[in-house]
Amino acid sequence: MTVTRFAPSPTGYLHIGGLRTALYSYLWAKKNEGKFLLRIEDTDLKRNSKEAAEAIEAAFKWCNFAHDGAVIYQSKRFDLYKEYVQKLLDEGKAYYCYMSREELDAMREAQQAKKERPRYDGTYRDFTGTPPEGIAPVVRIKAPQNGEKIEFTDGIKGDLSFNVDDMLDDFIIARSDGTPTYNFVVAIDDSLMGLTDVIRGDDHLSNTPKQIVVYNALGLDIPKFYHVPMILNPQGKKLSKRDGATDVMEYKEMGYFPEALLNFLIRLGWSHGDQEIFSMEEMLEHFDPKDVNASASSYNAEKLLWINAQHMKVMPSARIIEDIKHFGMDISKHPKKEVIVDALRERAKTLKEFVEMAKPILEVTQSYDEKAVKKFLNEESIAALQAYHDSFKQATKMLESSEFEAFTKAFMEENDLKLKVLAQPLRIAMVGSAVSPSIYDTMCIIGHEGLGEHIERLLKTFNP
């Protein structure tokens, strides 16, 4: 069974790079009818944030990621990690190191002065003497030495080889206070959780050789690794908050659909032919982590906006009606709610923009845009609007867009008028500016009585 995981540290919000990694892991597990697990790596007790852990789960819920089983918190597994530390000590695969911080710093300064790579020199690796007093020891693992290589095949980067003399020393697996270190507990947890595939950012690539040392020392099965290249800004530099590396939930506040955000993220470094728009079902059908591009991808805010707009156009009306409640707009009981959605879904790129466009239609016009008034309201257009209003008052009550359209076109034909003479004054009357969705849909949404009141209010203001 394929088992993947997402394992964030709760020291800050979940950003889109982390969400993309979670998406890849989720898709690969579910495509293979496997399990997708969530582990919170909260061993750094000084930097952990309960709010950050809750925010990660909130983002998962918004994106509809259903992780399997209970969330695993590393901070609740310290006793287990101590057992594995002791196992390595008992088997002679790890040892206590009593080197003080001052001694360690002095050793590294001397190495740097000789232009050598700073590293622990193994002073206590085979120590059998009397430990110095007053020093709480750390525990170091015995790493391979003397030119050995650590090799593995990465699902994205291919065959990789690391010379241990170039990058490894006997690294710490337990601090002087007994708390375990990151690379030690990750290897243990990934094995005990039955991970078959570890999909993570390539900033973790340098950790992998250390974790393989732990796997081998404990006799644990090593999963398949996929190291995903980073998301960079358009200038090719590390993505900043200004570029888009913000809290995932901020995208909800900006009016994006989670489906659109996931669609955008999967296309950052992966493709399926020329297809741009993907449903979750299509992602599950086509995604394979081995097809992820080995080079970094670039964040494109305009592309995200475009993808969101495409999802808006096909999103069920009921979903849009429900989601705009988050932005303080409830049209669920409006008699023309479907007309509202259909009139705006082609124009709005985000839910927030949808609400901003809907407000002028649904609220009574309190003021008129000065530029629109100056450009479109003149003696001719006001006279045409007055004639339209006089005729409209005699008309049978209209309910549908088609009825408003038929009446208006008949009026223009009878009075030998072009729509451009009447359209913009009507828009100004209805929404206060010269910008609106389809003029006939707007009339339908405002309603027969409302339209008459809007026109009358404008005429009283500019043709008293």
Rounded CA gap, 12 and 54, in Å? Answer: 10
**Between the CA of residue 134 and those of 98, 128, 174, 177, 179, what are the distances in Å?**
9, 18, 18, 13, 19
- What are 298's strand-pairing partners? 232
Rounded CA gap, 92 and 175, in Å? Answer: 18
| β-pairing verdict for 197-201 and 35-40 | unpaired
Of the candidates 61, 76, 149, 241, the residue annotated as catalytic is 241
Which amino acid would we find at residue 91? Answer: E
Rounded CA gap, 452 and 426, in Å? Answer: 11
- What are 224's strand-pairing partners? 197
- Contact indicator for 344, 410 with CB cutoff of 8 Å: no
**Tokens 């000084």 identify what position?**
46
DSSP 401: H
Kindly state the helix (H) or strand (E) to which residue 162 belongs, with its residue range: strand 158-163
Q: Within 10 A of 26 (CB to CB), how many other CB atoms are there? A: 27
**Between the CA of residue 235 and those of 232, 240, 244, 259, 404, what are the distances in Å?**
8, 11, 13, 27, 51
The SS3 assignment for 231 reads: strand
Nearest to 175 by CA among 81, 111, 91: 81
Which amino acid would we find at residue 364? Answer: V
Q: What is the 3-state secondary structure (H, E, C) of 352-386?
A: HHHHHHHHHHHCCCCCCCHHHHHHHCCHHHHHHHH
- Contact indicator for 180, 207 with CB cutoff of 8 Å: no
**Tokens 């741009």 identify what position?**
276
Which amino acid would we find at residue 419? Answer: L
Q: Within 10 A of 101 (CB to CB), how many other CB atoms are there? A: 9
Which amino acid would we find at residue 154? Answer: D
- Contact indicator for 324, 351 with CB cutoff of 8 Å: yes
Q: Is 87 a catalytic residue?
A: no
DSSP 149: E
Catalytic residues, by residue number, are: 241
